[in-house]
């Protein structure tokens, strides 16, 4: 833009800042079935928070040559807590439940990725409850020295994602929770 004012030539350029906002959507979908005495009581679908720790691990493995975590585990928690992006394996914001018969956290056994998602729907994480509890959510963890151990936070693992269920599960001894975790990625 140029102007002349009182014989003085004034020139100015307006520079518009270039704003680049990359978008990559990584999320997981949690399908939880609550079974009691062989009867399906409820089925819910919830979304999650991918933790900063989980996304950093994903990027480091894919682009920085970090060591891949080859075995992941599903855990459930019994505190009415909402996980946040800053939630970590070492400092979870919830109380993990160990009130189930399986000796370890169930392994996340996924099929190969297809259509920008990966899932354990063919091999759901199963929790056979051995006490009356209220289950509020779940998380996907792996790595470290003892990620399969119930309640472990000291093993140096990674929490990829966590989900507070929209509807808590009031379980009794003998009830079964079947958890499907579908991880998706999209260029949003």
pLDDT at 75: 98
pLDDT class for 187, splitting at 50, 70, 90?
confident
Q: Cα–Cα distance between 54 and 99 in angstroms, integer?
A: 26
Q: What is the dihedral of CA 90, 95, 101, 102, to 10 degrees?
A: -20
Q: Would you say 160 and 50 are in contact if contact means Cβ atoms under 8 Å apart?
A: yes
Listed by start position, the domains of the chain span: 21-186
pTM metric for this prediction: 0.86
Q: Is the pLDDT of residue 149 over 60?
A: yes
């Amino acid at each position: 833009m140029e102007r002349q004012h009182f014989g003085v030539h004034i020139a100015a350029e307006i520079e518009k800042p270039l704003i680049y906002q990359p978008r990559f959507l990584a999320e997981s979908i949690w399908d939880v079935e609550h079974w009691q005495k062989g009867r399906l009581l409820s089925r819910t679908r919830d979304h999650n928070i991918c933790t900063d720790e989980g996304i950093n691990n994903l990027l480091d493995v894919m682009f920085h040559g970090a060591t891949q975590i080859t075995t992941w585990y599903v855990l459930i928690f019994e505190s009415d807590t909402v996980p946040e992006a800053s939630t970590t394996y070492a400092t979870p914001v919830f109380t993990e439940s160990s009130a189930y018969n399986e000796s370890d956290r169930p392994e996340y056994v996924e099929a190969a990725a297809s259509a920008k998602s990966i899932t354990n729907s063919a091999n759901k994480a199963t929790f056979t409850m051995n006490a009356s509890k209220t289950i509020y959510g779940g998380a996907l963890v792996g790595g470290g020295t003892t990620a399969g151990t119930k309640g472990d936070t000291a093993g140096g693992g990674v929490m990829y994602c966590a989900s507070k269920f929209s509807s808590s599960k009031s379980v009794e001894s003998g009830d079964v929770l079947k958890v499907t975790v579908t991880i998706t990625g999209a260029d949003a």
